[in-house]
Amino acid sequence: MFQYFLRRLLLAIPTFFGCTIIVFFVVNLAPGGPYEQQVQALKSGSGFGVGAESSAASNNGSATIPPTALAELKRYYGFDKPVYIRYMIWLGIWPRETDSYNVTLGTPRNVGEGKFVVVNQQNGKYSVIDESSKQSVSDIWYVENAVLDTLGTKQLRVFRTELSGILTGNFGNSYEYREPVIDLITARIPISLQFGVIGLVLSYVICIYLGIKKALHHGSTFDIVSSSIVLISYSIPGWALGLLLLVLLGGGSFFDVFPLGGLQSSDYSSYTLIEKILDRSYHFVLPVISSTISSFAGITLMMKNSLLDNLSQDYIRTAFAKGMREERIIWLHAMKNSIIPIASNIGHIIGIAFIGSFFIETTFNIEGIGKLSYYAILSRDYTVVFAFTVIGVIVNLLGNMLSDIILALVDPRIRFR
């Protein structure tokens, strides 16, 4: 088994890079990215982006953007480099530019922490000197070719580089929030996990019990009615059901029973521990119902059909012929094998619970990573989109491996070689 999972782990590596390559290249080559949106905003006169020079002339309501500002925007968003270079920078295997400053030749420039550097030119080559120690720091600071600012003064750009990317845990900064992406995600993962795990546990407990009851009463009125209900619920999207529940029970038009959204009340911080648990549970009722109701049909019918199939097997008939009690046959023998299809899918379900549901979180205004990724897609916040892609791929790969492990544990017929 160890060799099998080692092979699976090694296979997961090219799978991971293949998925990230496809997403990265498709998103970067698609029109309407953050650079194009910022340029459009500048032309409409709504403001200038980070690092852009704000000298623009108005012409019939349309601003003219100086070339230096466009070049600075391209550099800020990374579009001054080929897409394959940007991918390697994102991975962390190509040097990333940091601490960039525009300087004038021969003039000291503050580069932070009370340090000043001076760029000199001799024999056509640039050198960077630490103003305080008078020592060369050209091995740390790099100089880019000269440009002219809006006043026509010769300018240089000095910068440092580092190997930093997703392989080192650096997902970059969000274009929208201006914060490190890893901080945005880690602050929201516990929120998505809370109602995701609750929904996972409830759906499995309810569906397994319901599937058993349906199998033991196959063809009865209970079986027919319950099948109709779960199939109808399966056809209703979770977000649509959530909106309906908010209108009916959230004070929208009928009954004011549950809150309209969010995770907690406004005075949550003043509650005791028990009151906080009750308040959080109160806010979770509608989101959990909406996120789990559509999964009832698949798990319930899978449990029912698996149990029916095992009850018709020869070993079950032999157990009845030996005079064993019906409860012992069903719960000890039939259930043990019937649970195998359910257990083999649990890794995938856990992955869904981990990465959240952006439809449900958006509907109920839950600040989870699902909602974060949804708005990142709408606003073309590429750093967040790529980070969510990495997390989703890793969670799915680990979930599939977890399903294999669980399958091997519950099914003695499975032996990985």
Q: Which amino acid is at 324?
A: M
The CATH number for 293's domain is 1.10.3720.10
Per-residue pLDDT, 224: 92
Distance CA 241, CA 237 (A): 6
Residue 223 lies in a domain: yes
Mark whether 254 and 287 lie in a shared domain. yes
Looking at the domain assignment, is residue 12 inside a domain? Answer: no
pLDDT at 306 over 60: yes
Q: For residue 221, what pLDDT is reported?
A: 92
Quick check: is 25 in a domain?
no
Instruction: Identify whether 176 is part of a domain.
Output: no
- Cα distances from 354 to residues 42, 222, 263, 285, in angstroms, run 39, 34, 17, 18
Same domain, 228 and 346: yes
Tell me which residue has tokens 């990573």: 369
59 and 118: one domain? no
> In this structure, are 158 and 275 located in the same domain?
no
Residue 59 has pLDDT above 50, yes or no: no
**Reported confidence tier of residue 150, pLDDT bands at 50, 70, 90:** low
37 and 56 belong to one structural domain:
yes
> Which of 159-168, 219-228, 255-264 is predicted least confidently?
255-264
pLDDT at 350 over 80: no
Decide if 358 is inside a domain: yes
Which pLDDT score, from 0 to 100, does residue 48 have?
43
Does 88 reside within a domain?
yes
Q: Cα-flanking dihedrals φ and ψ of residue 277, to 5°? A: -65, -45
Question: Which of these three, 53, 70, 94, is where a domain ends?
Answer: 94
Q: H-helix or E-strand containing 119?
A: strand 116-122
**For residue 352, what pLDDT band results from cuts at 50, 70 and 90?**
low
Q: Give, in degrees to the nearest 5, the angle at Cα 395 between 96 and 404.
A: 140
Residues 269 and 339 in one domain: yes
DSSP class per residue in 125-177: EEEEEETTT--B-TTT-EEEEEEE-TT--EEEEEEEEE--SGGGT---B-TTT
Does 141 share its domain with 235?
no
Q: Quick one: pLDDT band at residue 49, thresholds 50, 70, 90?
A: very low
Residues 370, 192: contact at Cβ < 8 Å? yes
- Rounded Cα–Cα distance for residues 39 and 365 (Å): 31
User: What residues make up the domain containing 70?
Assistant: 31-94
Q: Taking a C-beta distance cutoff of 8 angstroms, is the pair 185, 110 a contact?
A: no
- 376: in domain: yes
Can you name the residues that pair with 147 across neighbouring β-strands?
A: 155
**What's the structural domain count of the chain?**
3
Rounded distance between C-alpha atoms, residue 104 and residue 109, angstroms: 8
Q: Mean pLDDT check: name the lowest of 21-35, 175-189, 403-417.
A: 403-417
For residue 168, tell me if it sits in a domain: no
Asked if residue 129 and residue 43 are part of one domain, the reply reads: no
Query: Are 338 and 307 a contacting pair, CB within 8 Å?
Result: yes
The first and second tokens of residue 246, run together, are 């908010």
CB–CB of 181/129 below 8 Å? no
Residues 303 and 336 both lie in one domain: yes
pLDDT band at 145 (very low <50, low <70, confident <90, very high): low
Q: What pLDDT is attached to residue 61? A: 45
Between vectors from CA 244 to CA 243 and to CA 248, what angle results, nearest 5°? 120
- Could you report the per-residue pLDDT of 353-402, keeping only the tens digit for each? 666 677 888 888 888 888 888 888 888 888 898 888 888 888 888 888 88
3-state secondary structure of 256: strand
311 shares its domain with 357:
yes
Q: Write the DSSP symbol of residue 334.
A: I
* Whether the predicted pLDDT of 147 surpasses 80: no
Domain co-membership, 368 together with 338: yes
pLDDT tens across 88-132, in order?
Answer: 988 888 888 888 777 877 788 888 777 888 888 777 788 888 877
- The DSSP bridge pattern shows strands 154-162 and 142-148 to be antiparallel
* pTM for the structure as a whole: 0.76
Mean pLDDT of 288-308: 86
* Number of Cβ atoms within 10 Å of the Cβ of 176: 17
134 and 76 in a single domain? The answer is no
Identity of residue 413: R
Res. 403: pLDDT tops 70: yes
